[in-house]
A and B are shown apart, each in its own frame.
Chain A
Amino acid sequence: MIGIFMLALAALTSVAAYLLGVRRLGLEPARLGAAIGRMLETVGAVLIFLAANLLGAVVLVMALRGVTDRFVSIYVTDDAVWLSLALLQGLVFQWWRAVSGKKADRLLLEERGNLG
């Protein structure tokens, strides 16, 4: 029941955002699919960072156990903070690529003499 409530509320605010975007901000409805694609790319980047971090943690824990007498529990990986960190990493990486891409496009256009 609470799941349906959450989904219904998210649908409601999404519709409100869509209407605001189209009517007030002049956003193109046809570009919504591309925006969803970008969201999926960012989620993918976050998940890959999460997997890399967790894998690194497991390898490090095993190495510490093997090399030293110190026992580190594998349950260090059981913490929601890993996801938060991956979220920050994924967002930064994607935004870095986006802003670098814009700069690269600009330089390319300048080289071709199409700008300025």
Chain B
Amino acid sequence: MSLDRAFRWTGLVGVALFFATAFTPLAHALSLWMAVEPELVPSDAIVVLGATVSQSGILSAESTRRTNHAIELYQKGLAPRLILLGGTREGGVHEAEIRAKAARLHSIPAEAIITESRARTTREEAARVRDLARSRGIRTVLLVTNSGHMARARPVFERAGFEVRAAPSDTYFAPAAPQARLALMRGLLQELLGWLYYRIAGYA
């Protein structure tokens, strides 16, 4: 196959995918297909995985969604402890600390909140939570993250010795704007690649 032909076919696939993603509900359909069924049963702790935080300390939309969902689960009495994770971006404020502040503002007692901000990957998060949980007798956890990430995070936490109940933080909506649809598809592809990497590396 000539270089022109290879470029042309790649371009055709790229343009077709662009139009299918930006101008149809494909990304939303894919996100529904990847959705994880929640298993909201009483557990020993609610574990909220890290997302991102700005250097000035503003939680990303995903981080806020996870935090709010975890607060809601705690307030429903599904677990007596809240383990909040999340590090820092280039020396800024720790995500876990900002989340803890938000939880306290929602009247969650400080003694029920555990923060961990050193873990940098999902695998490290599982290892740190295992260390934190050991002395506290935590065995069953409600794992809070988005569905795409859950596929990768769940087996990692199970390998760390936890009985995991999925508590996906997704808020399903069908984005209408092409840019939002492209962003959703990008997120889904990222998680798919992350899951693939964890499978190949033997982490999940």
Tell me whether A and B are bound partners: yes
Cβ < 8 Å to A, chain B residues 135-188: 176-178, 186
Chain B contact residues: helix, strand, loop or mixed? helix
Structural contact, B178 and A6, CB atoms closer than 8 A = yes
Q: Which residue of chain B has the shortest Cβ distance to A2 in the bound complex?
A: B177
Task: Indicate if the CB atoms of A3 and B11 lie closer than 8 Å.
Answer: no
Q: Decide if A3 touches B177 in the complex (CB within 8 Å).
A: yes
Choose among A1, A3, A48, A94 the residue that contacts B10 (Cβ–Cβ < 8 A).
A48
Chain A contributes a number of interface residues (CB within 8 A of B) equal to: 22
With A7-B23, A78-B190 as known contacts, state yes or no: A44 contacts B7, CB within 8 Å: yes
Decide if A85 is an interface residue (CB 8 Å cutoff): no
Interface residues on B, range: 20 to 34
Tell me the complex Cα distance, A47–B16, Å. Answer: 13
> Which B49-96 residues sit within 8 Å CB-CB of chain A?
52
A47 partner, pick from B11, B177, B190, B194, beta carbons under 8 A: B11
The distance in angstroms between the C-alpha atoms of A77 and B10, with both chains bound, is 21
A41–B11 touching, CB < 8 Å = yes
Most buried by B among A44, A46, A48, A74: A44
Enumerate A34-72 residues with CB–CB distance to B below 8 Å: 37, 39-48, 71
Q: How far is it, in angstroms, between the C-alpha of A75 and the C-alpha of B4 when the chains are bound? A: 32
**How distant is the Cα of A75 from the Cα of B120 in the complex, in angstroms?**
11
Question: Is B22 a contact of A44 with CB atoms below 8 Å?
Answer: no
Q: Which B positions have Cβ atoms within 8 angstroms of A?
A: 4, 6-12, 14-15, 22-23, 52, 120, 176-178, 186, 190, 194
